């Protein structure tokens, strides 16, 4: 099971540590869900998720401060005894000395952000979805062409990186070369990204590693992209039938999510980069409800 270290959370969102610093290294988050404790401050403690981050916004803090001092201290103490993994207070709201003492006593980390609650929860949830998503590593290249995320696969040496270079020279963006990390976000969405090490680099046989943004500028790369098409490069085999009409729609499956599959046979004289550009534009047209094959058959039937 994947977990997120609290230190990573602090660095990502520039959070202020206001209590429980001693327990930071021993706490982690394992759920993308976010919890706002409310019933606990009324005295109900039967359900408190210990794998989720806890958010205290203006509503929770206002209610706490409305309690008598003795009630506030009693309920906060019982709350911290349940050992929530981490608490984040939004809007830079002030906290009482007792909250800090109770958090330190139970080694529960309390953090604070100046962001308003709704905006912060939205950003936090998006971050958790990506960090805790299930992953799959694929041998291939990931590029973004006209805003369409494309995975380029094929046997070693078939020319995946060279095709990616041609696309970059045409103004498109590299996400990852050689090793692509796929992450499943939600029920069907796939995100393609790099592993951190291969970010910015393209490996070309006979030349070696090249740094793409240093050669082509910062706009030639991006950190991640949603995967919309899976393009598989195949050696051209004489006598093999290759669909030139588009009757057969095929898909690939990654992490139980289906992606439209296009197989492109390689032979001298074929401009594969141009074909991938056309595939990306054609995919966008299909998303808008237009089908070239249906249009063709309608015209054919009308002509007949």
Tokens of 54: 């806890």
Catalytic residue among 12, 58, 114, 139, which? Answer: 139
Active site residue 281: no
Place of tokens 């289906």: 258
Long-range CB contacts for residues 270-276, cutoff 8 Å, separation at least 24:
272/159, 272/163, 272/166, 272/233, 273/163, 273/166, 273/167, 273/170, 276/145, 276/150, 276/152, 276/163, 276/167, 276/231
Active site residue 8: no
Q: How far apart are CA 270 and CA 277, in angstroms?
A: 13
**Half-sphere exposure (Cβ direction) of 156: Cα atoms closer than 13 Å:** 5
Active site residue 139: yes
Residue 34, SS3 per DSSP: strand
Handedness of CA 101, 35, 45, 106 (dihedral sign): negative
Residue 134, SS3 per DSSP: coil
Long-range CB contacts for residues 92-96, cutoff 8 Å, separation at least 24:
93/56, 93/57, 93/58, 93/61, 95/18, 95/19, 95/61, 96/64, 96/65, 96/72
- Give, as one character, the DSSP assignment of residue 163: H
Catalytic residue among 160, 172, 183, 194, which? Answer: 160
- Give, as one character, the DSSP assignment of residue 221: B
CA distances from 193 to 146, 183, 283 (A): 17, 8, 21
Identify which of 116, 3, 103 has the alpha carbon closest to the alpha carbon of residue 56. 116
Tokens of 14: 């520039």
The residues that are catalytic are: 139, 160, 178
């Amino acid at each position: 099971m994947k977990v997120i270290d609290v230190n990573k959370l602090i660095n990502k969102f520039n959070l202020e540590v206001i209590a429980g610093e001693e327990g930071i290294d021993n706490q982690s988050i394992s759920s993308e869900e976010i919890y706002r404790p409310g019933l606990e401050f009324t005295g109900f403690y039967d359900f408190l998720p210990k794998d989720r981050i806890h958010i205290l916004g203006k509503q929770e803090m206002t209610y706490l401060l409305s309690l008598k001092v003795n009630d506030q201290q009693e309920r906060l103490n019982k709350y911290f005894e349940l050992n929530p993994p981490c608490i984040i207070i939004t809007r830079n709201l002030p906290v009482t000395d007792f909250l800090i003492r109770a958090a330190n006593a139970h080694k529960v980390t309390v953090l604070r952000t100046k962001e308003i609650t709704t905006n912060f929860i939205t950003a936090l949830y998006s971050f958790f979805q990506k960090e805790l998503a299930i992953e799959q590593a694929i041998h291939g290249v990931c590029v973004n062409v006209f805003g369409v995320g494309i995975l380029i696969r094929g046997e070693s040496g078939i020319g995946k990186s060279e095709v990616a270079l041609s696309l970059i020279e045409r103004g498109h963006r590299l996400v990852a070369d050689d090793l692509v990390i796929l992450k499943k976000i939600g029920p069907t969405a796939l995100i393609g990204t790099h592993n951190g090490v291969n970010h910015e680099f393209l490996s070309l046989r006979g030349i070696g590693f090249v740094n793409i943004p240093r050669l082509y500028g910062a706009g030639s790369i991006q950190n991640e992209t949603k995967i919309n098409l899976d393009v598989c490069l195949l050696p051209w085999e004489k006598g093999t039938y290759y669909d030139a009409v588009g009757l057969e729609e095929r898909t690939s499956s990654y992490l139980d999510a289906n992606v439209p599959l296009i197989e492109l046979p390689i032979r001298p004289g074929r401009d594969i980069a141009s074909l991938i550009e056309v595939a990306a534009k054609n995919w966008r047209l299909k998303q808008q409800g237009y089908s070239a094959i249906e249009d063709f058959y309608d015209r054919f039937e009308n002509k007949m």
